[in-house]
């Protein structure tokens, strides 16, 4: 591969970091608003940073312990040798590389910590800026819509670009160190750096769980004790939980989703590099391994150009839907991605490159499809949300019944789109004739190209996503600080757009998980083949009619449900503690309700933080522990009972758990995300007066119909913001943990 290609990676990575720095400087240079605003902004900032510090400290301890465990386990089961079997035109040649038993353990543990650190760093800096952007957006909203959009989008983009840059820099640096400095062959290295992906998943799991529980417990708790019990409006300063609620938007939506997509990109990058090894062993061309990093580099450049173009599309008069300029920016990113995809495939993937170019187009189209599917199911202008709003007339029960039916229904569009994308990219890829490479190997690489291409726009999508909590918070600050009506109007319209962009990102995350499942599973099988000393290009069927695989599959789907159950229940528990605290404050200081004294916000924030961190542990341990437990149980117990040998029981059961658990996770996450989004917007639809009674009069706030819709919205909260997003992380964690620990399950 030519040097120019290699250079592209650090150049794009550094450019993204510089761009993020420039954006951060821009945001911080903006006016921070009135003293009132700065006061509440300061409280949110302190609360969010305090939670994040405490959360990262907890995660750091877990991560260090896990790193030691990984080092010991991987070292203990390593035979010190990596075997890459080169299959060339039917002849099998072993490529053995001496790594050293404990060196392998150490390298994996180091990669794990590097992944965990990068993920944490991206989350921390991104949130630091996002929380600073809230109050500046609130201030800008007093000037103009254009100013508010620019500040909030740029604030969100800091997180987006840092996440992408750190993933790109992290993976390429560790790959560069292992090959360039430690001198491991390129065919071995992707197998040694899988720990990086696991580290990223590990942090993402706890960040998403802790943040997701925090944000929804605070939301549900504040609403139940404020709106329902005390009869005061949302974001009213008399409610002690209101700051916790505003803090929650940041720690759940910003930090959580950032860690989620950091993990996606890192794990899928490494997985795709492993798939590239299979073709590299036959063709001898390093391009197949480096391709994912190159494509990501083009992607981040495309995203930066698209983002910079947004302000040009904002009209000064303020009569524009703020979603319009964001959509234009997305189109620019997509067009530039197609161009980058063309250059990368033509330059790197041989004379049959156009097949893989086609795969990439499939991936980019899949991303666009999900944007529209999510809008159809969760935006108020279409049938599903109207149906739920309408069902609210007969009370909360019918609201929930129809909302569940809609949520179940949305899985169809998701499954059909992912299924079509997988089949199409596999078939396109399998048509590429690469001498010595089986059509199925090329096909699987095709699905990897589709995944990578879809993720080219990740930085832009993440910027739009973080835009959501920033504008949500800006609205809260505006209300809390008693700013003028005109500013509230601007933040309201931005908040509505933010709800849409948040929903889009979830759809995008599910789609990327779905496409990636296939490539990550194939990477896992490559790791098994490496261990079993089978050529990477050979077939290794996982027979779903085998009892070990079948039971593993059953347990995989069950894991998805049990994990969701724990996550949902945690929200209820923590919300209960918040309610108790707010009640106590109301009771002990009557001045709060009268408005003469301020409630103790910090204490409510503190209680929420502590309870959320405690609640994240059980589902987190289940997610990490169950694949390991199943693998060990089948390897050591079940296999011995097999008459006539069950030496494959361990990794077969894990395979079933991994792949069918992933399918279940994608479907259930879709249900949870979309039903929650639809319930939320059904409530908004009624509040906007769009639902009419028989006489044609709007049925608005304060009616039993609206109360029924509020029930649905509250039910949807832990679905869409706690359990659903945590499931995205879970399915990828399953892949990375099994990738790292694969040898543990092989007898």
Q: What is the DSSP letter of 481?
A: T
Cα distance between residue 111 and residue 83, in whole Å: 20
Q: Least distance (Å) from its own copies to the CB of residue 565? A: 4
Q: Are 124 and 158 in contact (CB under 8 A)?
A: no
Q: Map the footprint of its own copies across residues 467-526, applying CB under 8 A.
A: 514, 518, 521-522, 525
Question: Count of residues binding its own copies (CB under 8 A)?
Answer: 91
DSSP-derived secondary structure for 216-262: HHHHHHHIIIIIIII---TT-TT-TTHHHHHHHIIIIIIIIHHHHHH
Instruction: Measure the CA angle with vertex 30, ends 29 and 32; round to 5°.
Output: 115
Residue among 44 and 442 whose Cβ is closer to its own copies: 442
Least Cα distance to 234 among 248, 220, 247 occurs for 220
Question: Does residue 194 contact residue 520 with C-beta atoms inside 8 Å?
Answer: no
Residue closer to its own copies (CB basis): 109 or 672:
672
Q: Which is nearer to its own copies, 90 or 541 (CB)?
A: 541
Please, which residue, 121 or 554, has the CB nearer to its own copies? 554
Select from 541, 594, 694, 696 the one that contacts its own copies (CB under 8 A).
Answer: 541
Closest CA to 447 of 335, 537, 347, 355: 355
Distance in Å, CB of 130 to its own copies, minimum: 28
Q: Which of 7, 397, 621, 629 binds its own copies (CB under 8 A)?
A: 397
Compute the least distance from the CB of residue 244 to its own copies, in Å.
17
Using alpha carbons, select from 607, 27, 535, 1 the residue that is nearest to residue 284: 1
Spell out, one character per residue from 655 to 684, where the chain touches its own copies: x when CB under 8 A holds, - when not.
xx--xx--xx-xx---x-------------
92: helix, strand or coil: strand
Alpha carbon distance 724, 505 (integer Å): 12
Show Cβ contacts of residue 680 under 8 Å, excluding neighbours closer than 6 positions.
Answer: 378, 499, 713, 716, 717, 720
Sequence-separated (6 or more) residues with CB below 8 Å from residue 25? none
Residue 73 C-beta: closest distance to its own copies, Å: 25
547 binds its own copies (CB under 8 A): yes
Query: Minimal distance in Å, beta carbon 393 to its own copies?
Result: 10
Q: Is 561 in the site for its own copies (CB under 8 A)?
A: yes
Residue among 277, 470, 549, 678 that touches its own copies (CB under 8 A) = 549
Query: Which of 346, 569, 583, 584 is close enough to bind its own copies by CB under 8 A?
Result: 569
All residues at 6 or more sequence positions from 730 whose CB lies less than 8 Å from its CB, including other chains: 205, 559, 560, 563, 623, 665
Smallest distance, its own copies to C-beta of residue 684, A: 17
**88: β partners:** 91
Distance in Å, CB of 448 to its own copies, minimum:
12
Q: Is 51 in the site for its own copies (CB under 8 A)?
A: no
Which residues in the 319-348 window bind its own copies by CB under 8 A?
none
Of positions 36, 533, 539, 693, contacts its own copies by CB under 8 A: 539
Q: Is 89 in the site for its own copies (CB under 8 A)?
A: no
Q: Which stretch binds its own copies (CB under 8 A): 80-88, 501-509, 548-556, 691-699?
A: 548-556
- Residue range at the interface with its own copies (CB under 8 A); choices 196-204, 293-301, 328-336, 569-577: 569-577
Query: Is the Cβ of residue 293 or residue 659 nearer to its own copies in the bound state?
Result: 659
Tell me which residue of 422, 638, 652 sits closest to 543, measured CA to CA: 652
Q: Site for its own copies (CB under 8 A): which residue of 49, 177, 232, 439? A: 439
What would the 3-class secondary structure string for 403-423 be? Answer: HHHHHHHHHHHHHHHHHHHHH
Q: How many residues does the chain have?
A: 747
What's the sign of the alpha-carbon dihedral 426, 428, 431, 437?
negative
Choose the binding region for its own copies from 83-91, 182-190, 254-262, 572-580 (rule: CB under 8 A). Answer: 572-580
385 binds its own copies (CB under 8 A): no
> Using CB under 8 A, which of the segments 101-109, 129-137, 411-419, 478-486 binds its own copies?
411-419
For 478, residues 6+ apart whose C-beta sits below 8 A from its C-beta are 37, 138, 141, 487, 488, 491
Residue with smaller CB distance to its own copies, 291 or 563? 563
Asked if 424 contacts 406 with a C-beta cutoff of 8 angstroms, the reply is no
Span near its own copies by CB under 8 A; candidates 33-41, 86-94, 336-344, 392-400: 392-400
H/E element, 512: helix 485-532
Is residue 555 close enough to count as binding its own copies by CB under 8 A? yes
DSSP tag of 354: H
Q: Give whichever of 15 and 438 is closer to its own copies, judged by the CB atom.
A: 438
Site residues (CB under 8 A) for its own copies, limited to 576-615:
576, 579
Nearest to 450 by CA among 329, 369, 556, 376: 369
3-class SS at 86?
strand
- 191/521 with CB nearer its own copies: 521
* Of positions 11, 182, 401, 747, contacts its own copies by CB under 8 A: 401
Q: Are 75 and 742 in contact (CB under 8 A)?
A: no
- Report which secondary-structure segment, H or E, holds 87: strand 81-88
CA angle 159, 161, 162 (to 5 degrees): 65
Minimum CB distance to its own copies, residue 577 (Å): 13
Near its own copies in 222-241, by CB under 8 A: 224, 228
Whole-number minimum distance, CB 189 to its own copies, in Å?
24
> Which listed range, 42-50, 314-322, 331-339, 562-570, lies at the site for its own copies (CB under 8 A)?
562-570
Identity of the residue, 44 or 194, whose beta carbon is nearer to its own copies in the bound complex: 194
Residues 702-731 that bind its own copies (CB under 8 A): 710-711, 714-715, 718
Tell me if 220 contacts its own copies by CB under 8 A.
Answer: yes
Determine if 394 is a binding residue for its own copies (CB under 8 A). Answer: yes
Interface region with its own copies, contact rule CB under 8 A, candidates 27-35, 131-139, 554-562, 736-744: 554-562
Are 86 and 281 within 8 A, CB to CB?
yes
Kindly state whether residue 357 participates in binding its own copies, applying the rule CB under 8 A.
Answer: no
How far apart, in whole angstroms, are the C-alpha atoms of residue 137 and residue 33? 9
CB of 696 to its own copies, least distance (A): 19
Which residues from 266-295 bind its own copies, rule CB under 8 A? none
Residue 68, C-beta contacts closer than 8 angstroms, at least 6 positions apart: 109
Do the beta carbons of residue 399 and residue 711 sit within 8 Å?
Answer: yes
């Amino acid at each position: 591969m030519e040097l120019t290609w290699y250079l592209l990676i650090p150049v794009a990575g550094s450019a993204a970091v510089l761009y993020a720095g420039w954006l951060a400087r821009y945001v911080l240079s903006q006016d921070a608003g009135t003293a009132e605003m700065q006061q509440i902004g300061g409280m949110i900032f302190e609360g969010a940073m305090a939670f994040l510090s405490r959360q990262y400290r907890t995660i750091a301890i877990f991560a260090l312990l896990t790193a030691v465990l990984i080092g010991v386990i991987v070292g203990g089961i390593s035979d010190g040798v990596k075997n890459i079997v080169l299959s060339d035109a039917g002849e099998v040649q072993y490529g053995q590389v001496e790594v050293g038993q404990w060196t392998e353990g150490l390298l994996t543990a180091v990669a794990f910590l590097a992944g965990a650190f990068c993920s944490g760093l991206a989350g921390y800096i991104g949130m630091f800026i996002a929380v600073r952007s809230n109050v500046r957006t609130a201030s800008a909203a007093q000037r103009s819509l254009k100013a508010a959009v620019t500040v909030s989008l740029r604030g969100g983009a800091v997180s987006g670009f840092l996440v992408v840059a750190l993933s790109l820099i992290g993976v390429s640096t560790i790959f560069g160190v292992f090959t360039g400095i430690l001198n491991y062959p390129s065919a071995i290295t992707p197998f040694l750096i899988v720990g990086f992906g696991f580290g990223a998943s590990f942090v993402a799991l706890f960040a998403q769980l802790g943040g997701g529980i925090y944000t929804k417990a605070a939301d549900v708790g504040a609403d139940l004790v404020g709106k329902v019990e005390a009869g005061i409006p949302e974001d009213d300063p008399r409610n002690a939980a209101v700051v916790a609620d505003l803090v929650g938007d940041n720690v759940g939506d910003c930090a959580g989703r950032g860690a989620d997509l950091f993990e996606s990109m890192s794990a899928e990058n490494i997985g795709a590099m492993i798939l590239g090894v299979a073709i590299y062993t036959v063709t001898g061309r390093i391009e197949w391994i480096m391709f994912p990093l190159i494509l990501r580099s083009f992607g981040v450049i495309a995203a930066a150009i698209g983002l910079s173009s947004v302000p040009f599309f904002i009209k000064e008069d303020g009569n524009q839907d703020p979603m319009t300029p964001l959509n234009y920016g997305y189109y620019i990113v997509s067009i530039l991605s197609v161009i980058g995809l063309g250059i990368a495939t033509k330059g790197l993937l041989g004379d049959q490159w156009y097949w893989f170019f086609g795969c990439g187009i499939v991936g980019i189209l899949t991303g666009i499809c999900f944007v529209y599917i999510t809008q159809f199911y969760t935006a108020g202008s279409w049938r599903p949300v109207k149906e739920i709003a309408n069902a609210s007339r007969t009370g909360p029960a019918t609201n929930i019944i129809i909302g569940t039916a809609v949520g179940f229904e949305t899985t169809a569009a998701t499954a059909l789109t992912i299924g079509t994308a997988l089949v199409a990219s596999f078939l396109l890829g399998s048509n590429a004739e690469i001498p010595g490479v089986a059509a199925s190997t090329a096909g699987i690489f095709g699905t990897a190209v589709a995944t990578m291409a879809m993720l080219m726009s990740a930085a832009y999508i993440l910027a739009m996503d973080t835009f959501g909590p920033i504008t949500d918070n800006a609205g809260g600050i505006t209300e809390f600080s008693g700013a003028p009506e005109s500013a509230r109007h601007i933040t309201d319209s931005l908040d509505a757009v933010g709800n849409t962009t948040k929903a889009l990102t979830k759809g995008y995350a599910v789609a990327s998980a779905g496409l990636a499942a296939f490539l990550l599973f194939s990477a896992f099988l490559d790791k098994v083949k490496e261990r079993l000393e089978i050529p990477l290009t050979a077939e290794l069927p996982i027979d779903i009619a085998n009892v070990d695989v079948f039971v593993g599959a059953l347990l995989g789907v069950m894991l998805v449900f049990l994990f969701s159950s724990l996550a949902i229940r945690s929200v209820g528990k923590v919300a209960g503690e918040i309610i108790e605290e707010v009640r106590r404050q109301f009771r002990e200081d009557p001045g709060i309700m009268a408005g003469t004294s301020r409630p103790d916000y910090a204490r409510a924030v503190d209680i929420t933080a502590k309870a959320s961190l405690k609640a994240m542990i059980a589902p987190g341990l289940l997610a990490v522990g169950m694949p390991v437990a199943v693998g060990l149980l089948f390897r050591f117990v079940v296999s011995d009972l097999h008459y006539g040998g069950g030496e494959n029981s361990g990794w077969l059961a894990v395979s079933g758990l991994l792949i069918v658990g992933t399918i279940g996770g994608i479907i259930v996450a879709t249900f949870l995300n979309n039903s929650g989004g639809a319930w939320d917007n059904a409530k908004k639809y009624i509040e906007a007066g769009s639902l009419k009674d028989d006489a044609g009069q709007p049925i608005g706030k304060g009616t039993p119909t609206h109360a029924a819709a509020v029930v649905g919205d509250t039910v949807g909260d832990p679905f869409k913001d706690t359990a659903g997003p945590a499931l995205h992380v879970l399915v990828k964690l399953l892949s990375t943990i099994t990738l790292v620990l694969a040898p543990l399950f092989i007898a």
